[in-house]
Amino acid sequence: MPRLNISLTKVQTIVGLAAGILSIGLSLNAFLKPASNKGEIVAIVQDSKTEKAVTDATVEILTPQNAVITTLKPDWAGKARWKLDEGRYRLRVSHPKYREELREVQLISKESTEIRVQLKGGAPLTNAVHKLLPH
Protein backbone atom coordinates (compact mmCIF):
# COMPACT_ATOMS: atom_id res chain seq x y z
CA MET A 1 0.00 0.00 0.00
CA PRO A 2 1.48 3.38 -0.98
CA ARG A 3 2.09 5.93 1.75
CA LEU A 4 1.18 9.54 1.35
CA ASN A 5 4.11 11.76 2.03
CA ILE A 6 2.39 15.03 2.95
CA SER A 7 3.88 17.11 5.70
CA LEU A 8 1.86 18.80 8.41
CA THR A 9 3.12 22.17 7.18
CA LYS A 10 1.62 21.60 3.73
CA VAL A 11 -1.75 20.58 5.22
CA GLN A 12 -1.76 23.70 7.41
CA THR A 13 -0.93 25.87 4.40
CA ILE A 14 -3.75 24.39 2.31
CA VAL A 15 -6.30 24.71 5.14
CA GLY A 16 -5.20 28.30 5.88
CA LEU A 17 -5.38 29.27 2.20
CA ALA A 18 -8.87 27.75 1.83
CA ALA A 19 -10.10 29.53 4.97
CA GLY A 20 -8.69 32.84 3.72
CA ILE A 21 -10.35 32.53 0.30
CA LEU A 22 -13.68 31.58 1.90
CA SER A 23 -13.47 34.50 4.34
CA ILE A 24 -12.70 37.01 1.58
CA GLY A 25 -15.51 35.64 -0.58
CA LEU A 26 -18.11 35.94 2.19
CA SER A 27 -16.89 39.45 3.08
CA LEU A 28 -17.21 40.60 -0.53
CA ASN A 29 -20.69 39.10 -0.75
CA ALA A 30 -21.84 41.04 2.33
CA PHE A 31 -20.18 44.24 1.09
CA LEU A 32 -21.62 44.08 -2.43
CA LYS A 33 -25.13 43.12 -1.33
CA PRO A 34 -27.39 46.18 -1.74
CA ALA A 35 -28.70 47.70 1.48
CA SER A 36 -32.44 47.43 2.07
CA ASN A 37 -34.44 50.64 1.67
CA LYS A 38 -37.26 49.26 3.78
CA GLY A 39 -38.29 50.71 7.10
CA GLU A 40 -39.42 48.67 10.09
CA ILE A 41 -42.61 48.94 12.12
CA VAL A 42 -42.21 47.76 15.72
CA ALA A 43 -45.50 47.48 17.60
CA ILE A 44 -45.21 47.11 21.38
CA VAL A 45 -48.48 45.74 22.78
CA GLN A 46 -49.17 46.14 26.51
CA ASP A 47 -52.03 46.07 28.98
CA SER A 48 -52.80 49.72 29.84
CA LYS A 49 -53.15 49.06 33.59
CA THR A 50 -50.31 46.63 34.27
CA GLU A 51 -48.01 47.54 31.34
CA LYS A 52 -47.39 43.81 30.91
CA ALA A 53 -46.87 42.47 27.40
CA VAL A 54 -49.98 41.12 25.66
CA THR A 55 -48.41 38.28 23.69
CA ASP A 56 -51.61 36.76 22.32
CA ALA A 57 -52.94 39.92 20.64
CA THR A 58 -53.40 40.13 16.88
CA VAL A 59 -51.44 42.89 15.13
CA GLU A 60 -52.50 43.75 11.59
CA ILE A 61 -50.63 46.08 9.26
CA LEU A 62 -52.98 47.68 6.75
CA THR A 63 -52.84 50.03 3.79
CA PRO A 64 -54.50 53.45 4.24
CA GLN A 65 -57.54 51.87 2.50
CA ASN A 66 -57.68 49.12 5.18
CA ALA A 67 -56.39 46.26 2.99
CA VAL A 68 -54.51 43.79 5.19
CA ILE A 69 -50.79 43.53 4.34
CA THR A 70 -49.86 41.09 7.09
CA THR A 71 -51.03 39.72 10.44
CA LEU A 72 -48.53 39.26 13.28
CA LYS A 73 -48.38 37.92 16.84
CA PRO A 74 -46.25 39.75 19.42
CA ASP A 75 -43.25 37.93 20.92
CA TRP A 76 -42.66 37.29 24.64
CA ALA A 77 -41.89 41.01 25.15
CA GLY A 78 -45.06 42.15 23.37
CA LYS A 79 -43.17 43.23 20.22
CA ALA A 80 -44.26 42.55 16.65
CA ARG A 81 -41.94 43.62 13.79
CA TRP A 82 -42.33 43.90 10.03
CA LYS A 83 -40.29 45.57 7.28
CA LEU A 84 -42.08 47.59 4.61
CA ASP A 85 -41.44 50.20 1.96
CA GLU A 86 -41.57 53.84 3.02
CA GLY A 87 -45.11 55.20 3.23
CA ARG A 88 -48.30 55.53 5.25
CA TYR A 89 -49.83 52.52 6.97
CA ARG A 90 -52.39 51.64 9.62
CA LEU A 91 -51.78 49.39 12.57
CA ARG A 92 -54.75 47.55 14.10
CA VAL A 93 -54.34 45.64 17.36
CA SER A 94 -57.09 43.39 18.66
CA HIS A 95 -57.68 40.88 21.44
CA PRO A 96 -60.91 39.32 22.77
CA LYS A 97 -60.40 40.80 26.27
CA TYR A 98 -59.54 44.35 25.11
CA ARG A 99 -60.89 47.15 22.96
CA GLU A 100 -59.45 47.31 19.46
CA GLU A 101 -56.81 50.00 18.86
CA LEU A 102 -56.02 51.63 15.51
CA ARG A 103 -52.95 53.78 14.79
CA GLU A 104 -51.76 55.72 11.75
CA VAL A 105 -48.06 55.17 10.95
CA GLN A 106 -45.68 57.06 8.65
CA LEU A 107 -42.79 54.75 7.85
CA ILE A 108 -39.45 56.22 6.73
CA SER A 109 -36.95 54.31 4.62
CA LYS A 110 -34.12 52.59 6.57
CA GLU A 111 -35.61 53.62 9.94
CA SER A 112 -37.39 51.74 12.69
CA THR A 113 -40.71 53.25 13.84
CA GLU A 114 -41.85 52.13 17.28
CA ILE A 115 -45.54 52.30 18.20
CA ARG A 116 -46.64 51.60 21.77
CA VAL A 117 -50.19 50.28 21.95
CA GLN A 118 -51.74 50.26 25.42
CA LEU A 119 -54.79 47.99 25.28
CA LYS A 120 -57.70 48.95 27.52
CA GLY A 121 -59.81 46.29 29.18
CA GLY A 122 -63.41 45.62 28.34
CA ALA A 123 -65.24 43.85 25.57
CA PRO A 124 -64.44 45.04 22.07
CA LEU A 125 -67.03 47.44 20.68
CA THR A 126 -68.12 44.99 17.97
CA ASN A 127 -69.07 42.40 20.64
CA ALA A 128 -71.08 45.01 22.56
CA VAL A 129 -73.03 45.98 19.41
CA HIS A 130 -73.82 42.31 18.67
CA LYS A 131 -75.16 41.87 22.21
CA LEU A 132 -77.41 44.93 21.90
CA LEU A 133 -78.60 44.11 18.37
CA PRO A 134 -78.94 40.34 18.04
CA HIS A 135 -79.19 38.88 14.52
Domains of the chain as residue ranges with CATH: 39-129 (2.60.40.1120)
Bridge-based pairing state of the strands 101-107 and 87-94: antiparallel
Question: Can you list the residues of the chain whose pLDDT is less than 50?
Answer: 129-130, 133, 135
Give the number of other Cβ atoms within 10 Å of residue 95's Cβ. 19
pLDDT at position 17 is 81
pLDDT at position 135 is 46
Report the run of H or E that residue 68 belongs to, with start and end.
strand 68-72
